[in-house]
Amino acid sequence: MSEDILFDRRGAVAVITINRPEQRNAISSGVRRGLRDAFECFEADESAHVAILTGTGEKAFCAGMDLKEAADTMLGVPPRDFLPIIGDTVQVTKPVIAAVNGVAYAGGWLLTQMCDLCIAAEHATFAITEGKVGRGMPWAAPLGHIIPQRLMMELLLTGDPIDARRGYEIGFVNRVVPAADLMPAAMAMAEKIAANAPLTVRAARELVYLSTEMGRSAALRAGYHLFERVYRSEDAQEGPRAFKEKRKPQWRGR
C-alpha cells in the first residue's frame, strides 16, 4: 500500500482509510495507487467479506482531487483508468460501505457514490464542486439511479454543498450518526452483512445494479440466473440445516 492509504483487517471486515489529513485527504497519485491496491487486496481475500472506506481525522472524508498536484502536472483529460472507481475501472464483487467523517467534495463525492452503502457523521457535507474549478464529472452519470433528476441537476450545476441530513432525505446516505458513533455504526453494519451467506450477499449486490439498467422482465431473468449458483451451493443446504439444528451457520462460500 501507499503510505497515503491504511489497510486494516477487523475479522471479516477490511477498513481502508485515506490518510492525508493535512491535505483534507485529497486524492493524490499516492492515494490513487493505494486505493487501487487496497481494493484489489480486498477482492482477492476470500476471508474479507465487507470493506469500509473512510478518511483520517474529523474534518474530511476526502476533499476531492489534489488541485496543487493537478496544476503542477497540467492535468488535461484524465486517462480512462485515472481513478480507481468501483464498477468502472476496478472490479469489486463484495459490499463496500462509505463511512463519511467530514467533507466529501468532488472526487470525495465520487468515492462515496461508488460505495454500495453510506453512513455519515452528522457534521459531514457533500458537494460536486467541479463547476467551480472548471473540471468535469463524467463519473456522476450513475447518480441518476440514486437520486431524482432535478436534485442531481441542482448539485451538478450549482456546486453547492448539502449536509448529511439532506443527503439522507434524498436517498444518498443510508444513516446519519454522531461523529463518535461513525465507525462503530459502520462496523455494526459491516459485521451484520459479513454474517450472512457470502454467495447470497454478492448475488444480491449484483442484482441491485443489474436491475437499475434493465426493464422489469429482463431484470427478473437476470435475477434467476444470478441466484442459480446460490441455490446449488453447499451454503444453500447449510442455512436450513443450521436453522433446524438451532446453531449458527458455517458458511463456506461454495
pLDDT of residue 66: 73
Residue 2 in this model has a pLDDT that exceeds 80:
no
Give the pLDDT mean for 65-78: 69
pLDDT tens, position by position, 112-130: 999 999 999 999 999 999 9
pLDDT tens, position by position, 43-69: 999 999 999 999 999 999 999 887 677
* Class of CATH domain 5-194: alpha beta
> CA torsion angle for 92, 93, 99, 105 (degrees, to 10)?
50
Give the pLDDT mean for 194-216: 93
Give the pLDDT mean for 212-239: 89
d(CA 197, CA 251): 6
Whole-number percent of the chain with pLDDT over 70: 96
pLDDT of residue 74: 58
pLDDT of residue 75: 67
Same fold, 5-194 and 198-244: no
Give the pLDDT mean for 13-33: 93
pLDDT of residue 1: 63
pLDDT of residue 133: 84
Give the pLDDT mean for 32-40: 95
d(CA 55, CA 134): 26
Residue 242: strand, helix, or coil: helix
Q: Which of 88-97, 184-193, 220-229 has the lowest mean pLDDT?
A: 220-229
The band of 176, judged by pLDDT with boundaries at 50, 70 and 90, is very high
pLDDT of residue 70: 64
pLDDT of residue 193: 97
d(CA 123, CA 42): 29
pLDDT of residue 79: 74
Q: Which residues, other chains included, contact 32 with Cβ-Cβ below 8 Å and sequence gap of 6+?
A: 82, 83, 84
Residue 72 in this model has a pLDDT that exceeds 70:
no
Q: Which of 21-30, 149-158, 241-250 is the most confident on average?
A: 149-158
Instruction: Tell the residue number behind the cell numbers 443489474, with chain if given.
Output: 210
Instruction: Map out the domains of the chain as residue ranges.
Output: 5-194, 198-244
Q: What is the CATH number of domain 198-244?
A: 1.10.12
Give the pLDDT mean for 187-199: 96
Residue 73 in this model has a pLDDT that exceeds 70:
no
pLDDT of residue 67: 66
